[in-house]
């Protein structure tokens, strides 16, 4: 999987940063994309990338503030105008359905594909056999969620030495054995692939936060994540101001990454008060607490 940041600014776009949106490329799993938030101008950001809007089959919205949803109606209509007939599922807080239906109705727009809008509550949203997505409630000025995306564990490696010792030859059945299936050899022996597999390989975990001040739920959302994406709207000196508005500071987000045991922290949702020359200062505040921190820029791609 690969996560690309399409927008990394908080509230309003800047000359260097668009407002919030990320795209998860499910490369290695299937040929589709998931979009996370869709601020104004998201489809323009996609046009300047390798991604194709029709291949987006799920969109996850963290909350209904404009810098996270104002790009949705245009993107949905562009997907339709491309001629796509592939279904799309949209997840987000209560009110999302009314917002989309109203925008389409008033603008006399229509879609060429089935659109399923799922208004969520906290808990597991689905398990498709490869990925599990769970929503966690956050603490913002409006109803807001974070999404934990977990890959199912993969089968361990085949034990080649044990196979050789048991006189099991190589052949077209090796793929079935790697999948843990039972096969019958030409000599009549029945072989259970699971008996020749090493320990399962843990799947990857991605924790995507919406806007939030520190909350107890955050540690559960980010626990042992391979990649944690969290806002750092303001520097540490503005902690009271950030929390009053339902946001977190650099240090608060870094402390969460440390406490949750995350492997990597990508900071985003940077206030427009900061120019690019201020970014090293914000990064230094984070890295003093959690060294494995990066600050996202638009079009940064992170391999999971």
| Alpha-carbon span 214 to 221, nearest angstrom | 12
3-state secondary structure of 72: helix
Cα torsion through 137, 141, 143, 145, rounded to 10: -40
67 is catalytic: yes
- The helix or strand, by DSSP H or E, that contains position 283, with its residue range, turns out to be helix 279-287
Residue with tokens 């990394």: 8
Length in residues, the chain: 304
Structural tokens at position 160? 């080649």
Find the catalytic residue in 37, 57, 67, 226. Answer: 67
Q: Left (φ > 0), alpha (ψ -120 to 50) or beta: where does 205 sit?
A: beta
The HSE-up count of residue 202 (CA atoms within 13 Å, CB side) is 7
Closest CA to 254 of 264, 244, 245: 264
| CB-based contact 6:46 (threshold 8 Å) | yes
The dihedrals phi and psi of 120, each to the nearest 5 degrees, come to -100, 165
Q: What residues are annotated to the active site?
A: 67
């Amino acid at each position: 999987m690969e996560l690309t940041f399409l927008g990394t600014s908080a509230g309003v776009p800047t000359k260097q940063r668009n407002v919030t949106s990320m795209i998860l490329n499910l490369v290695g799993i299937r040929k589709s994309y998931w979009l996370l938030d869709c601020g104004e101008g998201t489809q323009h950001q996609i046009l300047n990338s390798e991604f194709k809007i029709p291949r987006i089959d799920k969109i996850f919205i963290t909350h209904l503030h404009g810098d996270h949803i104002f790009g949705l109606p245009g993107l949905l209509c562009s997907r339709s105008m491309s001629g796509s007939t592939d279904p799309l599922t949209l997840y987000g807080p209560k009110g999302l359905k009314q917002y989309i239906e109203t925008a389409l109705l008033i603008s006399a727009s229509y879609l060429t594909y089935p659109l399923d809008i799922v208004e969520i509550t906290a808990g597991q949203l689905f398990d498709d056999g490869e990925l599990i997505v769970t929503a966690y409630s956050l603490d913002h000025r409006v109803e807001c969620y974070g999404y934990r995306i977990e890959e199912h564990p993969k089968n361990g490696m085949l034990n080649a030495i044990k196979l050789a010792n048991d006189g099991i030859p190589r052949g077209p059945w090796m793929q079935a054995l790697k999948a843990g299936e039972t096969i019958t050899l030409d000599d009549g022996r029945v072989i259970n692939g699971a008996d020749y597999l090493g320990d399962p390989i843990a799947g990857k975990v991605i924790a995507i936060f919406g806007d939030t001040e520190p909350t107890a739920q955050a540690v559960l959302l980010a626990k042992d994540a391979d990649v944690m994406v969290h806002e750092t709207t303001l520097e540490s000196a503005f902690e009271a101001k950030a929390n009053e508005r339902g946001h977190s500071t650099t240090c608060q987000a870094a402390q969460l990454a440390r406490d949750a045991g995350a492997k990597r922290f990508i900071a985003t949702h940077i206030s427009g008060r900061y120019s690019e020359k201020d970014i090293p200062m914000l990064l230094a505040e984070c890295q003093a607490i959690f060294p494995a921190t990066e600050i996202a820029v638009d079009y940064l791609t992170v391999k999971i």
